[in-house]
Amino acid sequence: MSFGDPNNPYGQPQGQPQQPGYGYPQQGQPQQPAYGYPQAPPVQPYGGAPTSMPGLMTAARVLLYIIGGLQVLIGIIAAIAIAAASDAVDSDAATGLAGLGFIVVIVLLAFAGLAIFLGVKFSTGGTAIRVITIVYASLMILGSLANFASGQASGVVGGLVTLAIGGIILAAMVNSQASAWFNRPRY
């Protein structure tokens, strides 16, 4: 039995058994890929920059609003408590401690204002907002570690919550989605 001329370009390819159907297997001819296969991803406007804020960034923004609101609330309560305590005790030592307490309240309210400002600027801010948010989250983490060092139960619980929130915000700021979001063109 002859398999045909081995040099014939239209004959059966070498090394394969001869099958019916003009040289194709029994299941039929293979499907030709569509034009442009594999399909390219859809074209994104602005050269591939994201047009909506990624989910992790939105979560970090919400956490900044929550932290800022809680710091404002705690600052107001602490200021009222310090004022009431300094009025109850009328001495030079109490006045000095009250002044120190008000300085701490002002620093707390400044950090609250910074957190709210950063949350607001997420939609329009650039790389500087991202860097400041990274620094803010790092300071939150350091503050939570200081709460652990206090050894009190309330300090440990507060430290865990602050550590988790600071870690989420920091993780949201150092990934590639954050880089793409804050480096996108703004027209």
- Overall domain count for the chain: 1
Does 154 reside within a domain? yes
Does 14 reside within a domain? no
Verdict on whether the full-model pTM lies above 0.75? no
Q: Which long-range contacts (CB under 8 A, 24 or more apart) does 119-122 make?
A: 119/61, 119/62, 119/64, 119/65, 119/68, 122/53, 122/57, 122/60, 122/61, 122/64
Does 2 reside within a domain? no
Does 15 reside within a domain? no
Per-residue pLDDT tens digits of the chain, which is 187 residues long: 555 666 766 665 555 555 555 555 556 555 665 665 566 655 555 555 667 788 888 999 999 999 999 999 999 999 999 988 888 887 777 778 888 889 999 999 999 999 999 999 988 888 899 999 999 999 999 988 888 887 777 778 888 888 999 999 999 999 988 888 888 877 6
Domain containing 127 equals 54-182
